[in-house]
Amino acid sequence: MSTLPNDALAERSLLGCLLLDGSCVPLIAGSVSPKDFYQNTHQLIYEAMLDLSNGGLPVEPLSVLNCLKSRKEDSHCGGISYLNRLIGAVASSTSVGYYAQAVKTKADLRLLAIAGSDLYRDATCSTDPLDVRARHEKALLGVERSGWSSVHISEVEEPNATTGYPTGIVPLDEYTGGIYKGLHLLGGRAGHGKTTLAMQIIHRAATDGHKSCIISADQQRFKLKQIIRAQHAGVHMKHLSEISAVDNQTANELPVYFFDGVFSAAAVCSYIRFQARQGSEFFLIDYLNLLRLPGPERQFEKAEIIAEMLKLLAHEANVYLIAIVRNRKVEDREPDMDDISGGAGIQNAPDQIWWMDKPKDSDNKPSGVFVLKNRMGGESNGPPVRVWFDKQTTRFVDWEAKPALEMHYAQVIRGDA
């Protein structure tokens, strides 16, 4: 067979655009794969770019070179001089879409050429045309199906009609059905417990063996780790130093990962997509309003765009995505949808919206979880689910369990238990 279809100039130009502006990598990652490049050198360079971008790291000549060196592939790629030549081949990154399409087109033509050659070979050696067609139809259709597929109705997984993933708070699970895969917004005023409740769900999932990822720009990672340690050991936050070595070790062995990168919408979406492919099921963003999105839009418009991006991503990746949102204003009344900072768009995107409301005297009065929206089957817009923050275990529990728990703690103090 003669040389297969390829466009070396388009490949070099595409890589040059990505080295000039690494933020373009997530934009084409879903449509262009490493195998779409004809030259092996270009495949290796593009793979390094994808890994850097998925990890929230900058894509630039030096970082790409270091990534290649860590894999002992730099000598096969021409080193820093070749990367600089790629940048010199383009004036700007504005044509990245054009070059990406050119590379993808040639890749599809190569697949057709290979499939056609194999089809010709088998057709000249077979007496059964239907057998030949059946064996090669999938390869030929594969070129058309880039970016989509078809799933038979029997293969579609249905969530349980009454329950999602349980939070562990019985009345809340009975009322809502639990957490479902998709985008779940958890809001409330500062200090009302939204992060603690979200971490409680993440800890429960991780304890059950579900790989979970935390993306936080609001609180430092070590503070969130302390919440997990306290919840895992079932102790008050101020007693962290008293946690046993065994509890500390088992907490450190939980499948929980923290995002370490630029808190931009592109980087976070890329990270979620990558981690989902690696088996992660639960994601927590703390909080959505801090995600950065370039462009001239006003902040509430950007929040709407980001919420829609996250919803589509959660459905595409089939994951549980919990995003904490900021309260728009502080008022002494029951919360409603208008309290969500970000406008109507951010209200429309989520599958579920829960709102935390804690009274001033939270030791003696119940906190409320208002279910403002629930597309997944449970109830919504009813009275709040009454919960109590149990400081002794750093978690929310059923309000009705408060008397028994307080009696137990009193017995422990007296030495009766």
Ordered domains of the chain (ranges, CATH): 1-149 (1.10.860.10), 170-414 (3.40.50.300)
pLDDT greater than 60 at residue 16: yes
Give how far Cα 317 sits from Cα of 201, 269, 298, 361, 396, Å: 19, 11, 28, 41, 29
**Stretch 204-231: mean pLDDT, rounded?**
94
Query: For residues 62 and 241, what is the distance between their CA atoms, to the nearest angstrom?
Result: 42
Cβ–Cβ contacts within 10 Å for residue 229, how many? 21
**Stretch 303-327: mean pLDDT, rounded?**
88
pLDDT greater than 50 at residue 287: yes
Contacts 24+ apart (CB under 8 A), 207-212: 207/232, 207/254, 209/255, 210/255, 210/281, 210/282, 211/255, 211/257, 211/275, 211/278, 211/279, 211/280, 211/281, 211/282, 212/255, 212/256, 212/257, 212/280, 212/281, 212/282, 212/283, 212/284
Q: What is the pLDDT of residues 81-130, one digit of tens each?
A: 999 999 988 888 888 989 999 999 999 899 888 888 888 888 888 777 76
Q: What is the pLDDT of residues 362-389, one digit of tens each?
A: 878 889 999 988 887 655 667 899 999 9
Q: What is the pLDDT of residues 38-70, one digit of tens each?
A: 999 999 999 999 989 888 889 999 999 999 998
Please give the structure tokens belonging to residue 179.
Answer: 């957490």
The percentage of residues in the chain with a pLDDT greater than 70, rounded to a whole number, is: 84
Q: What is the pLDDT of residue 262?
A: 77
Q: What is the pLDDT of residue 289?
A: 84
Query: For residues 120 and 368, what is the distance between their CA atoms, to the nearest angstrom?
Result: 69
Q: Report residue 260's pLDDT band, with 50, 70 and 90 as the boundaries.
A: confident
Higher pLDDT, 128 or 417: 128
pTM of this prediction?
A: 0.63
From the number of C-beta atoms within 10 Å of its C-beta (0-12, 13-18, 19+), residue 53 rates as: buried
Q: Report residue 140's pLDDT band, with 50, 70 and 90 as the boundaries.
A: low
Angle between helices 265-277 and 299-317 (to 10 degrees): 10
Least confidently predicted of 213-222, 283-292, 325-334, 406-415: 325-334
Give DSSP secondary structure letters for 386-411. Answer: EEEEETTTTEEEEGGGHHHHHHHHHH
Q: What is the pLDDT of residue 2?
A: 74
Strands lying side by side in the sheet with 256-258: 256-258, 212-216, 282-286, 320-326, 182-188, 352-357, 367-374, 385-390, 395-398
Q: What is the mean pLDDT of the chain?
A: 85
Q: What is the pLDDT of residue 161?
A: 47
Higher pLDDT, 277 or 345: 277
Q: What is the pLDDT of residue 191?
A: 86
Q: What is the pLDDT of residues 385-411, one digit of tens each?
A: 999 999 999 999 999 998 888 888 887
pLDDT greater than 90 at residue 155: no
